[in-house]
Structure 1
Amino acid sequence: MIQRVLIPTDFTVNSLRIVLEYLENSGNQQVELVLTCGYNLGESISFLLGFTLDDHLAEMQNGDFLKGCEIIKSRFKDKVVEMYADFMISKNRRYVRNYLKGCQIAHIVVPDTFEFQHTKNSFDVVELLKTTVLPNMPAITPVCMGEDGLQTQDTLDGFFFRKKWRFTYE
């Protein structure tokens, strides 16, 4: 059975380290990865009426981030069935419950130490998920990020190509 796993992101290449740590240290379970960022829509009615997920994702995801996702999918093609990005648009407890239930999230992966780069419209999904207590909440799986000095790097070659993986980029 394929499990859907929520992993927080800030749409930087560096945040893909969380995905790598999870995939490298988990079993052979096939997974769908939902890379989620907290995004505050604001209260402007014109903004709310014009909001489309695809437009905002295209604005926040840069080319290197998308290439990094493709590299991960290629490297872990037997494990990663699907990988896509999404926004969590509210800190409301009911919204979080409905989001997790509606997306059918089986596990939540959170890094032990990681500093996300927040924009003016984003919020910390990790803190929200750690502090929200819900009945039937998916299991939270912590991943150890280590102190390897990669925290400040945000380039593809910063850690993907130094691993000397053999893969094809499609």
Structure 2
Amino acid sequence: MKHVLIPTDFSIRSLRVVHGVVERFGGEPLNIVLMHAVEMPGSIMDLMMLSRRSSHYDLITADYKDACEIIKNKYASVIQSLKTEFLVGNGKGLFRNFLLYHNIDVIACAAKDEFRKAGPHSYNPAELIRKCKYPVHHIALTPRKEKYLVSAMSELFEV
């Protein structure tokens, strides 16, 4: 069983990496962690109030949740778990501990980095991923023909 980390910006486009991961590991059971990186709160009050009800959980849209359900159902025989986690902070040691905690074996990213900030405290984890000593698979994504949500959701059904 492989434990795979995929960075996400909560766009449906970022979930297209899952298709490439399933193809790359050819039916091997997968546990997938979709990671979104946010900066550590700057004030002591924000830090004390950091919890599951934090504002960064508001970044998860209904479309993103629906897309995750579609992916789980489509690859039910391969994907054992698909969960979204937040990396709160920006440091190599913190990232290493995050990877160890989730038993990550490999990191999968889109070949072309198209990160979009989902919120004011989001940041691109590409530098952390580049510096870590974990194997990184770059998945080539075919460009979308249309820029509408309907076509983006329909791509989740394609192979």
Query: How does the TM-score come out when normalised to structure 1?
Result: 0.82
**Per-residue CA shift, 1:31-54, capped at 9, x if unaligned?**
111000110122211111111235
Sequence identity of aligned pairs in percent?
22
- Paired residues in the alignment total 157
Q: Distance in 2 between matches of 1:24 and 1:53?
A: 33
Task: Give 2:16's aligned residue.
Answer: 17
Task: Give 2:135's aligned residue.
Answer: 139
Query: How does the TM-score come out when normalised to structure 2?
Result: 0.87
Task: Give 1:149's aligned residue.
Answer: 144
Q: Distance in 2 between matches of 1:25 and 1:160?
A: 22
Task: Give 1:41's aligned residue.
Answer: 40
Task: Give 2:154's aligned residue.
Answer: 161
CA drift of 1:56 comes to 4.0
Query: CA contact under 8 A between 1:7 and 1:110: conserved in structure 2?
Result: yes
Q: Distance in 2 between matches of 1:54 and 1:142?
A: 33
Runs (5+) with no aligned partner, structure 2:
none
Query: CA contact under 8 A between 1:38 and 1:88: conserved in structure 2?
Result: yes
Task: Give 1:123's aligned residue.
Answer: 123
Q: Distance in 1 between matches of 2:156 and 2:33?
A: 24
Write the letter of the residue equivalent to 2:90: K
Write the letter of the residue equivalent to 2:27: N
CA drift of 1:160 comes to 3.6
